[in-house]
Amino acid sequence: MIDDRYKITRGTPIGDGAFGIVVEAVNLESRSLVAIKVTKASPKYTQQAEKEVEILQKLNLADMPENEHVVKLLDHFHWKGHACLVFERLSHSLLDLLKLTRFEGLKISKVRIIAQQILQSLAFLDQAETIHADLKPENVLLSLPSGPASKQTFSDPKFKIIDLGSSFNSRNDLHCYIQSRWYRSPEVLLGVPYGTKVDMWSLGVMLMELLTGVPLFPGGRKPDTHRTHAHDMLVKFVQVLGPLPIEIVEASVKASDEFDASQLPVKKGTNGKESPASPCEQTSRGTVDLRDRLFQFELRRNATKALPRVALLRKISTSAVKRCGKGNDLRDFLDLVSTLLKYNPKRRSSPHIALEHPFFTTPSTAYQRS
């Protein structure tokens, strides 16, 4: 029992993370099934939960149809030192759907439905000047009654993004460490100024994963460089998308020049001693320093000369290509993804523009309801 109002219905959590756990429960007053996020009893996670509540309350109150693709916060309270957030009970995640295919990937007609709804949610967040900052398959859930995953259908699917615990307003100070590694954008890795377009990059990576069943940029899994995971991510980028554009390299080098640890201001710690301020307190500097000429050479050596759409096509298995049919769906899909995976965020599609792409407006195959 939680707060004398919610009775836990399962013996094990339905989700967990660094923040704490998520449990399924029934509201004893309304008899409705809910999901309760119970954070760890620490000031750090309590503050993070309070921020998530503030963002969700603002989003949920917005009188816009697009907000139906953002999870609904039903209640929040403190219980035995834990911050508790009560959400509507959703169903399976996109990762669960991929597991059903044995990681062979989804039909392109289903990927279209998912992509369109996520873009609608991102258009809504963009208008609210909110960065989700952790978009990935685990954080997009199907809004259907929970049951055996094999019996779920796409008759009238509705997908919702969840876990806005890392979200923040794009006008406020930017965080130096956001996004899960495989979905992290190049501007975050390189310390280049960023905005809501980081979520568009994550979406582009996700769409390829939904179609193929495997991550597009699994940095660190089978390293292509002996450096850090962040360096490996960049190597995997250029192997598919070609060399980094000069303006991004120059912007990253400039950011690195502005960050000089020996020149950082000092601050007094709790012990009264002075110590250098941390990089995150001083700048949004990324984790890769492109002043390293040897690594720049390594990137150029690994960079493909193929067009992104061609290199992306090579990542798709023969069986996945066959599932796309003989129309223009696959061509349009690859074109859409290539607009989402532009290195320069200024050239990356916005949610509103992406929704007008031919992949959505002139599909070759019908929206399959199976």
Residues recognised as catalytic: 134
What's the rounded Cα separation, in Å, for the pair 9 and 22?
Answer: 12
Let me know how long the chain is: 370
